[in-house]
Structure 1
Amino acid sequence: MGLGAALLIAALLLSTYTKGKIAKIPLNIDATLVSDGTATAFDPASLLGERFVVNEDVPVVQQQQLSVESPANADVVTLQVGTSLRRTDQQQDNGLLLAMVDTVTVNRQTAEAVSSETNPGGSVQKPRAIEDETPPTSIALPHEGLSYRFPFDTEKKTYQLFDPIAQRPFDVNYSGEEDVNGLTTLRFTQNVGFDNDGELVEPVKFASLYDDDANSQVTARASLWGLEGDPEEEITMTRYYAAQRTFWVDQVSGTIVKETDRAYHYYARDALKPEMTYVDYTVTSDEETIEAQVAAAQDERDRVALWGRILPITFTALGLVLLVGGALLGTFSLRAESMLADPGLDDTGDRFYGKRGEEGEPVPGAEAMTEKLPAQRPTDLPPDRPV
């Protein structure tokens, strides 16, 4: 009975306290996520030409490298995510279109960004050349909402997801369930500057990470922009950004197992009238990335299920069996002990091996009381013979 009670208490603790300690973002994340697709992209070689050139339908690959940095402890984890977008039809610097290293500290259960006096909650690295060997420097960028993960036990509702390019969070809305490689996922969509039909409604002014805003505003001759009028007139255009994203999320662990990104970077004098595309691309997680993320989600599901469901159910079943068995065994043992000590204490008239008594049921012949029968005189002897 004591062991049964202990198992029931253990089951209760596992299903409440222990599950809360287990359902957390791992501290050993080290993943490379690859997405591929096509784009309309600016040709860097045209900077030296007579007019800027934009190529259509070029192959591109987006790569994200996720790793864990300090601080990382029982409550929070810091994710460092290096993201790059490359044209695969060009080599080295000519193929690099976008690059960013984003760092954010999140709560390990809710995946919400957290900050403190010693930790601003996030930062981004200043851009530098590929051959630059000086240590990177970072700019503090406090994050809000979710970043790169969804919370454990993700709900079918609207969340806030931070966009490091726009440098602020945007709504990410639940839009249904979908199977991804055998895993039932929740699908979420996010619009940054686009409406649901993909039309520009409120594009974001690109936030440059250079001290002189070198890539957020560009001044060039009208002939380079391809504009009519005086070819030598200096025209300044501002860079704008908009994006649409779809996430397929494992509901239990909050792992993003698949993602589709459409992002539009362009230059214009009017935010809603693009004049020169820098890059307009759509990429989707490749099959290898999806398989790896589904496997990671399954591992976290199994870990949570073991401590949050399988062991509590097992301990509860064993605890109940032991309690009932212990109670029955205790009752039988106490009764047997009282019978052996004083049979008269059994007020039911029973005995240890069954009912016995003078007025009870007939007892077996071997134990029946014997009776002496009177002998009869013989009647067939001769009269003159003495008996």
Structure 2
Amino acid sequence: MRRIVSFILLGLGVFAVALGLLLRFYAYPQLAKIPLDNESTSVAEGDGVTALVIRTVNGAPSPEIRRNLSLTSTTYVTGDLTQPEVEEGGDVAVYVEATKTTDDATGIVVDASVRALCIDRHTNEAVAPCEGQYIEAEQGQRVAADRSTIQQPGLSFKFPFGTEQRDYPFYDMSVRKPVNARFDGEETIQGVNTYRFVMDVPPTKIGDEEVPGSLIGRSDQPSVDTELYYQVKRTVWVEPETGIIVVGQEEGRQELLAQGQDPGEGTTVYEGLMRFNEATINDNVNKAEDNVSKLSLLTSWPVAMWVGGGILIVVGLGMLLAGNQRGGRYGTGPPLRRQPAGAAR
């Protein structure tokens, strides 16, 4: 009976260890993926913002700098299932992001952009080949790229599953390249543990603009050639198991520099802080908590199975060895037959 029990314990232990390995190293990579048909919305708000607003006067655009604005920036992210890279059960998703920032008081659009890219469904980094990738920072001026080139390298939208306490490259739409997302500590938000990452972009030229002289204090000149400079401090709070950005905020500044001016000496055309509103943060917290509970089956349970299975194997082997030792002490061969009296010797 002891041998039967020991073999049962060994079998259960081996099964638990094997199932843990299967969950962690096969099921987890297959299931810890962003959806192909994603649909999400995030809203950021800011008060006391300075921004360049383009009004229409007598049928012509008329730019002016306004201060103390309340802005709302809405970002929609959807999955494009029509692209050739998208396959059911595959590792690549194609996402389209549309962002629009408006002045709350007037409804005037202050900024808008659309982009599309292919991303790895687990790491969330941009990948190639990608047939339909593009950036449209100004209406009607879409910039595409060769399908074999990664147009928007680095992370976008979220961080990878199993985010680590290290730096990551995160794509910045304004400078058109990845910037360093520096790990900056841990913080609990509404009961959810998050990793805080900070992205600092120093004053960087992002374009050339011909503007009315009156816009930059040179009313004697009908137009002036300027350089547009951008800087930002972007902070995101990321739930590490899922990579979901729970909270995001940007403190940015843009200025126009005329000839002979250095950064900090030009005309400010944007300055302010934008942060996810409470509804977006609450939604992200709920999504993070829901997905963490689902992923725990693939991350926490395997560890418990390995520990429990290891204990069962050790106990089973111990019982089996103890039984063998006991059998060796008393003999395991066939019983001796007693010879009948008078038998020949």
TM-score of the aligned structures, taking structure 2 as reference length: 0.76
Specify the alignment match of 2:127 in structure 1: 114
Q: Tell me how far 1:5 sits from its aligned partner.
A: 3.3
Specify the alignment match of 1:56 in structure 2: 67
Specify the alignment match of 1:348 in structure 2: none
Specify the alignment match of 1:85 in structure 2: 101
Are 2:19 and 2:302, in contact at CA under 8 Å, matched by a contact in 1? no
- Quick check: 1:256 aligned with 2:265? no
Specify the alignment match of 2:341 in structure 1: none
C-alpha distance in 2 between matches for 1:36 and 1:250: 22
Pair 1:67–1:274, CA change in 2 (3 A): farther
Are 2:20 and 2:301, in contact at CA under 8 Å, matched by a contact in 1? no
1:183 maps to which of 192, 197, 204 = 192
Letter of the structure 2 residue corresponding to residue 98 of structure 1 = D
Alignment of 1:174-213 (within 5 A): 174-193=183-202, 202-206=203-207
Q: Tell me how far 1:244 sits from its aligned partner.
A: 1.6
**Structure of greater Rg:** 1
Q: Tell me how far 1:61 sits from its aligned partner.
A: 0.5
C-alpha distance in 1 between matches for 2:291 and 2:222: 60
Q: Tell me how far 1:46 sits from its aligned partner.
A: 8.2
1:65 maps to which of 58, 76, 82 = 76
SS in structure 2 at match of 1:284? strand
Cα offsets for 1:104-138 (capped at 9, x unmatched): 2122222221112xx26842136438xxxxxx955
Specify the alignment match of 1:212 in structure 2: none
Specify the alignment match of 2:290 in structure 1: 299
Residue ranges of structure 1 left out of the alignment (5+ in a row)? 130-135, 194-201, 207-215, 336-341, 346-387
Specify the alignment match of 1:148 in structure 2: 157
Q: Tell me how far 1:174 sits from its aligned partner.
A: 0.9
Letter of the structure 2 residue corresponding to residue 218 of structure 1 = E
C-alpha distance in 2 between matches for 1:277 and 1:47: 23
C-alpha distance in 2 between matches for 1:268 and 1:308: 52
Letter of the structure 2 residue corresponding to residue 40 of structure 1 = T
Q: Tell me how far 1:327 sits from its aligned partner.
A: 9.4
Cα offsets for 1:151-186 (capped at 9, x unmatched): 122121221111122111111111111111111101
Structure having the larger proportion of residues in strand: 2
C-alpha distance in 2 between matches for 1:224 and 1:12: 64
SS in structure 2 at match of 1:156? coil
Pair 1:52–1:344, CA change in 2 (3 A): closer
* RMSD over equivalenced CA pairs, Å: 3.4
2:116 maps to which of 93, 103, 106 = 103
The runs of at least 4 aligned residues of structure 1 exceeding 4 Å deviation read 46-49, 318-329, 342-345
C-alpha distance in 2 between matches for 1:282 and 1:264: 9
SS in structure 2 at match of 1:44? strand
- Quick check: 1:286 aligned with 2:302? no
Residue ranges of structure 2 left out of the alignment (5+ in a row)? 1-7, 327-332, 337-345
> 183-192 or 36-45: which moved more?
36-45
Are 2:194 and 2:240, in contact at CA under 8 Å, matched by a contact in 1? yes
Alignment of 1:1-387 (within 5 A): 1=8, 2=11, 5-38=14-47, 39-45=49-55, 53-69=64-80, 70=83, 71-73=85-87, 74-91=90-107, 95-116=108-129, 119=130, 122-125=133-136, 127-128=138-139, 139-140=144-145, 142-193=151-202, 202-206=203-207, 216-220=208-212, 222-227=213-218, 231-269=220-258, 270-310=261-301, 313-314=304-305, 317=308, 344=335
* Identical counterparts, % of pairs: 25
Greater RCO, CA 8 A, separation 6+:
2
TM-score of the aligned structures, taking structure 1 as reference length: 0.69
SS in structure 2 at match of 1:299? helix
> 296-305 or 54-63: which moved more?
296-305
Pair 1:138–1:217, CA change in 2 (3 A): closer
SS in structure 2 at match of 1:45? strand
C-alpha distance in 2 between matches for 1:233 and 1:55: 20
Letter of the structure 1 residue corresponding to residue 293 of structure 2 = D
How many residue pairs get aligned? The number is: 308
C-alpha distance in 1 between matches for 2:249 and 2:233: 8
Are 2:17 and 2:305, in contact at CA under 8 Å, matched by a contact in 1? no
Are 1:52 and 1:226, in contact at CA under 8 Å, matched by a contact in 2? no
Pair 1:271–1:186, CA change in 2 (3 A): same
Q: Tell me how far 1:274 sits from its aligned partner.
A: 4.8
Are 1:240 and 1:271, in contact at CA under 8 Å, matched by a contact in 2? no
C-alpha distance in 2 between matches for 1:262 and 1:90: 23
